[in-house]
Structure 1
């Protein structure tokens, strides 16, 4: 890891979402690293493998992945900003409240406390029954399959990502659906984060698409409402859906996160342009 320069002494720990992979954070990681920041993208427990691998993990395992990465990463830099996409945003908030001395800031991207975007099927409102199904041993192999537009407004990009999802290589673009039992764990993580938002002290940048198809923008606003003792900035994007780190406004996301991290690191904010 770089050990010189003001930017290099500020580290950014990036966290992907449920059923996702570190690849969904790649463009953001490259953009920040190009500006000199030290970047580390974590792979969550149970991910980048099979559905069975994922179902065998719980939300505490995912959080442990981030906590372990933070403790490995922190000694190499002066300060750490944790940034996550979708469920990764919840995990970023969770680790910030549990490790306030190690986390200097949080970038919460497309935060997903609940699946309530415009593309989510109405039957998913019955998700509150899933814990009962699990108790009865029902649904271990059942999956909520993802549906168009898959969080991506850019049609050409969407086609490429969907092809990767269905290729069988989960390490490339993640799994094509959310296991019922993993949704249970996400709901438990969501409840945990909500109950601890009042403990957040680190500044938070919440970026969300106005037309998010997976999680309504009110998810981002919930951070501002619940984090009573932290400065929260909410930025809404006009031309993308849920996967804001790869969709049409990815350059805006990179620039906003860059400026946020630079301010935390005490680095003068310069004009940033990114070619990806």
Structure 2
């Protein structure tokens, strides 16, 4: 595929945008996922009066082979552009992310501290304790992909419209971003709410512990999710995530009617 070839986005993976009030929320999906995992949350926020952006990260929502030609800088650039766009409509912006989206949100907070007013992270990923992760930098040159990690959802019928394979060159790039974000956690000063599922079959507890111990935020709220797996934004605890985040924004950023 050449750089100018049209990209065919699979049904359900299209981005979402809504212009509302002067408080905006930027939502990022995770690695090999798609906007489908965040759009119900985005629509909930839009119904409450927020301005909302749910971008599709490059290489996602098409084919895993497309994704293997992208790198973390591409995904971050897309989110960075979406933040700038949202700022043109809003006085304050909250960034929310699922899994790798949480890592991207943290990096935005590190790189653009004056432009990010709060963070909401759901099962954020900045580390994995699994031994085989250490082999990825070498494995990426031997095999193109491993089995997928998508749709870790307890609730029947959930679909994040992700890939059934994990592209290894893209994964190796994500590991580099994790290292960068971990090294700069102390630069995060914004109010932060972090949700974590008790039963997450994708991201282990080390990410949560590193984030809460490493950020410099005065406000750090942790919420345990007892009835969801990794893609909690589409799972049984989704209403809890949506409602607690809106309350957190009202308390620490401002009310939508302000």
How many residue pairs match? The answer is 240
Equivalent-residue separation in structure 2 for 1:261 and 1:182 (angstroms):
33
**1:59 is matched with which residue?**
72
Equivalent-residue separation in structure 1 for 2:91 and 2:217 (angstroms):
23
Equivalent-residue separation in structure 2 for 1:229 and 1:249 (angstroms):
25
After superposing on structure 2, the runs of 4+ consecutive aligned residues of structure 1 that deviate more than 6 Å are: none
Runs of 5+ unmatched residues, structure 2: 1-17
Mark the CA change 1:19 to 1:104 in structure 2 (over 3 Å): closer, same or farther.
same
Secondary structure of 1:62's counterpart equals helix
Mark the CA change 1:185 to 1:174 in structure 2 (over 3 Å): closer, same or farther.
same
Equivalent-residue separation in structure 2 for 1:146 and 1:15 (angstroms):
17
Deviation at 1:2, TM superposition (A): 4.1
The answer to whether residue 92 in structure 2 is matched with residue 79 in structure 1 is yes
Alignment of 1:1-276 (within 5 A): 2=19, 8-115=21-128, 125-134=131-140, 137-139=141-143, 141-146=144-149, 150-154=151-155, 156-158=156-158, 161=159, 173-267=161-255
Alpha-carbon RMSD: 2.0
Mark the CA change 1:105 to 1:229 in structure 2 (over 3 Å): closer, same or farther.
closer
The structure richer in helix per residue is 1
Equivalent-residue separation in structure 1 for 2:91 and 2:49 (angstroms):
14
TM-score normalised according to structure 1 size: 0.81
TM-score normalised according to structure 2 size: 0.87
Runs of 5+ unmatched residues, structure 1: 117-123, 162-171, 270-276
Equivalent-residue separation in structure 2 for 1:79 and 1:17 (angstroms):
23
Equivalent-residue separation in structure 1 for 2:36 and 2:111 (angstroms):
26
